[in-house]
Amino acid sequence: MSWLYLVLAGLFEIGWPVGLKMAQESETRITGIVVAIFFMALSGLCLWLAQKQIPLGTSYAVWTGIGAAGTFIVGILFYGDAASLGRYLGILLIISGVATLKLAQ
């Protein structure tokens, strides 16, 4: 169950940078801030629950890895962020590191 909480924490981690991006526009500023705070709290709660069984270093690395990779993908798909081979390789390294941490558990 702890790994499910950790994966959810990582997925919710994607929500707060998206909320902050939404807050850059004046017409969605308040909504964006609310979205960011909501997802920060939800992500933090799930991370807290996961850390009851998963070591601190592992949980933090997996949490940030999922959040970074997910935010990267959202940025490309919805916000027109640059997509280059080097950036994809960087995300592949992050995902490989997260998988290695899970397998070495």
* Model confidence pLDDT, tens digit, residues 31-74: 999 999 999 999 999 999 999 999 999 999 999 999 999 999 99
Range 85-98 average pLDDT: 93
pLDDT of 105: 72
Entry pTM = 0.90
55: nearest Cα among 6, 4, 19: 6
Measured CA to CA, the distance from residue 58 to residue 2 in angstroms comes to 12
- Torsion on CA atoms 18, 94, 43, 71, rounded to nearest 10: 10
Cα 96 to Cα 44: distance, rounded to the nearest angstrom: 23
